[in-house]
Every structure is written in structure tokens, then in C-alpha cells.
């Protein structure tokens, strides 16, 4: 691992971003930021269809904020029709 770090020059213009600060969730507890973004993504897709690019903003946010285990669980529940949120 450490030898890999020392390797060649980095790519100069790396597009790089993460979920921004959201004034709806100013606290230490960010659980709702993750969950709300997951909901918003699926609501957005339900209204606008799966090919609507702006929906992917929510996806990027929940990908950054949610533990992968949670996302897998919720997606499983969506497929099984047992998801508790109102999509």
C-alpha cells in the first residue's frame, strides 16, 4: 500500500466533491441527511423518471452520507415492497 502512495504524479484536474453542508441538518446527528437524500432520490425518480440527470445529485449525497450497509438494506426493502418510507 505505501509503495503505491509514493507512485507517479497525480492527475491534475481531478473532479472531486462530497455532500455539502446542509442547513436542514446543522447538528452532529446526520442520520436524517442520509435518509432524506435516499428518499429524495427515489421520489425524484418516481416523478421524473429514471433518466432525469438532476436526480443523481441526491444519489451522490446519499452515497457519500449513508453507510453502504444501510443503502443495501433499504434497496432490498424497496425491491421487496417493505420499505417504510413514503417514496
Partner 1 sequence: MPTWSNLSLQDANSPLMEQLIFFHDHTMMILFMITIMVSYIMMTTMFNSYINRYLLENQTIELIWTIMPAVTLLFIAIPSLKILYLMDEINNPMLTIKAIGHQWYWSYEYSDMNNIEMESYMKPTNSLEEGDFRLLEVDNRIILPMKSTIRILVTSSDVIHSWTIPSMGIKIDGTPGRLNQGNMNINRPGLMYGQCSEICGANHSFMPIVIESVSMNQFMNWLNSN
The alpha carbon dihedral of 70, 73, 76, 82 has a sign of: negative
Q: Does 83 bind partner 1 (CB under 8 A)?
A: no
From the number of C-beta atoms within 10 Å of its C-beta (0-12, 13-18, 19+), residue 72 rates as exposed
Residue of the chain from 40, 45, 59, 63 that contacts partner 1 (CB under 8 A): 63
Q: Segment near partner 1 (CB under 8 A), from 14-22, 36-44, 49-57, 79-87?
A: 14-22
Question: What residues line the site for partner 1 (CB under 8 A)?
Answer: 1, 4-11, 14, 16-21, 26-31, 33-34, 63-69
Amino acid at each position: 500500500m505505501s509503495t503505491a502512495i509514493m507512485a507517479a504524479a497525480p492527475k491534475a484536474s481531478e473532479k472531486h466533491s462530497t455532500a455539502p453542508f446542509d442547513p436542514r441538518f446543522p447538528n452532529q446527528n446526520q442520520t436524517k441527511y442520509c435518509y432524506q437524500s435516499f428518499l429524495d432520490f427515489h421520489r425524484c425518480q418516481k416523478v421524473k423518471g429514471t433518466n432525469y440527470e438532476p436526480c443523481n445529485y441526491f444519489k451522490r449525497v446519499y452515497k457519500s452520507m449513508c453507510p453502504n450497509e444501510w443503502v443495501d438494506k433499504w434497496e432490498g426493502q424497496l425491491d421487496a415492497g417493505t420499505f417504510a418510507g413514503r417514496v
